[in-house]
Amino acid sequence: MRKVIEGIREFPSSVLILLLIANIPALAGTNVPDWVRQAAGQSLPSYDPETKAVVLLDDISYTVTGPGEYTEHYRRVVKILRPEGRHEGEFSVYLRAGEKVSSLRAWTIDSSGREFELKDKDFFERSPYSYDLYNDIHLRTATAPAANPGAVVAFEHEVRRREWLNQLHWVFEEESPVRLAHLAVQFPLGWEYKTFWTGVLQVEPMQAGAKRWEWTIRDVPGIRDEPRMPGLTSLAGRMALAYFPSEGTTNSDSWDSIGRWYAGLTADRRSATPEISARARELTSGKNDFDGQVRALAGFLQSDIRYVAIEIGIGGYQPHTASDVYRLRYGDCKDKATLLSSMLQEVGIRSHYVVIHTERGVTKPEVPSALFNHVILAIELPSNSSGGAYRAVVVSKAGKKYLIFDSTDTFTPLGELRSDLQDSYALLVTDSTGELIHTPLLAPDANMLLRLGHFTLTSDGGLSGEVVETSSGDHASWARAALTHSNEMQRLQHVEKNLSRSVQAFTLQSLDIQQLKDVQQNLVLTYKFTSRQYGQTRGPLMLVRPRVLGEKSFVVEEKPRHYPIGLRGTSHEIDDYEIQLPEGYVVDDLPDPVKIDMGFATYQSRIEVAGSKIHYRREYTVRELAVPAERVSELRKFEGTIGADEQAAVVLKRAY
């Protein structure tokens, strides 16, 4: 699916790195418009000292001329306050094939009053995407000269647009505070509209003429940057506006209408050719049960159909036909879902498209929109199936059970779902309707990491041993992504990088990887290493950290939080280490056991002595995907407890 840049005007703060225009002198006869001077001359309130810039004006006008057709006129004025705000001088307008720029200009008034101007010829063209083989979206970009603290930069464009849905998006909240956000929409006679809001109470429009409506919001606070916060697109206040002829139908004023629109786009895409049918029967030969058939076909899509995106025109939304995907052996997410659905149908298994955004929180139940960037599949379970064999199962309003599967995800097995697609809203598109569903939050044991280590400590503090890591879920997927297409040297470097976070002055002696390509099984890594500087000697004493490997704690700042703190995913992790003590040493002191349960996560550890060995075991369980801002003090305590335990040392002493 198209990324967010097409479905919604992208935040200026997240525009891709642009070609720089440097050392441009002030131009004689520069024509700075009055609307720029007026915005630049206003008095500003006091802002937090860390505020990078303030948006003085964000003004967009749409003139709708027909279904999906409109002219977009955009103006923006920003004052840069800090060096980190220089990116506000980077301007960009995206264009599809056939869309026409009527005007494109930018201006700067620097802190000393000098004026600069960029015209259409000063904007360069580039592609916004690096992962598509071909895409007909392109950017016109430029960087305003002298975009330094104290400067005011401004940008204006007018573009003739063509959309596939009768829907407009207005984003009025961003990283920088906004003094004035304004939207105007001119409709043809006989047309109506509906609005849907998130992030703010609904703002009532003013009528400014026949079929012209305007919305104004003043003094919108900026979205503060905080560690581990949700993405900007999920946090920003926005309005979706669906428009339609009074006597006609709309394709964008409800989840059902958007689903029906997408069902129409994909209605003929999944027709199977004789070759597809034969291949589906071949792959499922001898497999008479639902699970065996689905696993065989899902595995084929994961391993034999490469991810390649070619998106031209409506191809940003509409998949290629199953026959083309099968013949070429490549496609993007919606193409791979299409071919898998076609093959499943050939063995009598129904399935439906699910459109979803990979950033949790972007899709809001209260705002029907096509703001998605990914397509996966809902595979209908047999009526007599409880779904208990699979974790990623949803139930529709009609009571049907569906197995949710992402055929683009090469390393996540059937029945599982990677963390960024969990606990999120998505649109289930059946043959004639659309239904908003909620993807499941998988239990911690779906994402396991078990690390067993047996080590020997020498009298001079050296450590050697063997570690066996067994992983599933995201832990296995992340490791497989790093190891599958690597050579032997790169695999060793991957393990060494992980080791270096915990152990210094080490040598990796061997590495064995089992079940790397079998994503249905746990991934097992076995490696041996030595470290010559592990135990720290202090006269007759030696300090030894029993938690040999694995860092789980992170720093939680003391600053007040506004947004939740992400925890990556649910998880259950166990570290179990046994250390053989050197001759002549005995245990003098042990750290106390640790046990803490905050609801969203738990942690416990203990250290025991058995003869000449110390045994360390800890368990870490994450139950939720994020911690609300109001519970940040609990998280700080939790992470501090883990951090202290990870650094705690056993004290050994020489036995005389």
Residue 74 burial (10 A CB sphere; 0-12, 13-18, 19+): middle
**Model pTM score:** 0.90
pLDDT at 21: 35
Segment (H or E) for 484: none
Q: Give the phi and the psi of residue 500 in degrees, each rounded to 5.
A: -65, -20
CATH 2.60.40.3140 domain locations along the chain: 4-250
Cβ neighbours for 242, distance < 8 A, ≥ 6 positions apart: 166, 167, 193, 194, 195, 196, 250, 252, 253, 368
pLDDT at 656: 73
The pLDDT tens digits for 253-283 are: 999 999 999 999 999 999 999 999 999 999 9
Which residue has 């042990």 as its token pair? 590
CATH 3.10.620.30 domain locations along the chain: 258-442
Distances (CA, A) of 455 to 47, 333, 541, 618: 56, 45, 19, 17
Exposure string (b/e) for 579-599, b if CB count within 10 Å is 16 or more?
Answer: bbbbeebebeebbeebebebe
pLDDT at 25: 40
Which residue has 């919305």 as its token pair? 215
Residue ranges, the chain, pLDDT below 70: 1-29, 128-136, 311-315
Query: Is the CA virtual torsion 436, 439, 440, 444 positive or negative?
Result: negative
Query: Is the CA virtual torsion 273, 277, 279, 280 positive or negative?
Result: positive
Beta strands in 439-581 (DSSP E): 448-457, 463-471, 506-514, 523-531, 536-538, 541-544, 565-566, 571-580
For the record, the structure tokens of 262 come out as: 């997408």
Architecture of domain 445-654: Sandwich (2.60)
Sheet holding 100-109, edge to edge: 115-118, 100-109, 152-162, 69-80, 53-66, 178-186, 212-220, 206-207
Write the DSSP assignment of 367-394 as a string of letters.
Answer: S------EEEEEEEPPTT--STT-SSEE
- Sequence letter at residue 157: H
What dihedral do alpha carbons 553, 554, 559, 561 form, nearest 10°? -90
CATH 2.60.120.1130 domain locations along the chain: 445-654
Q: Are 140 and 123 in contact (CB under 8 A)?
A: yes
pLDDT at 473: 96
CB atoms within 10 A of CB 79: 23
CB atoms within 10 A of CB 637: 13
pLDDT at 5: 30
> Closest by alpha carbon to 469, among 459, 487, 490, 483?
483
Give CA–CA dist 148/157, Å, rounded.
22
DSSP-based three-state secondary structure for 604: strand
Distances (CA, A) of 501 to 58, 99, 546, 552: 45, 51, 15, 11
Architecture of domain 4-250: Sandwich (2.60)
Q: Give the phi and the psi of residue 410 in degrees, each rounded to 5.
A: -65, -25
Half-sphere exposure of 546 (CA within 13 A, CB side): 31
Q: What is the 3-state secondary structure (H, E, C) of 266-302?
A: CCCCCCCCHHHHHHHHHHCCCCCCHHHHHHHHHHHHH
- Sequence letter at residue 337: A
> Closest by alpha carbon to 302, among 339, 346, 255?
339
> Closest by alpha carbon to 67, among 165, 154, 198?
165
Total count of residues recorded for the chain = 656
pLDDT at 10: 34
> Closest by alpha carbon to 150, among 247, 79, 228?
79
Largest CA distance in the chain: 99
Point out which residues pair with 572 in neighbouring strands: 448, 621
DSSP-based three-state secondary structure for 655: coil
What dihedral do alpha carbons 278, 284, 287, 293 form, nearest 10°? -130
pLDDT at 137: 75
Q: Are 272 and 342 in contact (CB under 8 A)?
A: yes
Segment (H or E) for 263: helix 255-265
pLDDT at 231: 94
Q: Classify residue 363 by its DSSP letter.
A: S
For the record, the structure tokens of 237 come out as: 């206040």
Angle subtended by helix axes 333-346 and 290-304, to nearest 10: 150
For the record, the structure tokens of 130 come out as: 């690096």
Selected from 3.10.620.30, 3.40.50.880, 3.30.420.40, 3.50.50.60, the CATH number assigned to the domain covering 258-442 reads 3.10.620.30
Q: Are 168 and 62 in contact (CB under 8 A)?
A: yes
> Closest by alpha carbon to 74, among 58, 96, 53?
58
Give CA–CA dist 123/21, Å, rounded.
9
pLDDT at 6: 35
Q: Are 403 and 395 in contact (CB under 8 A)?
A: no
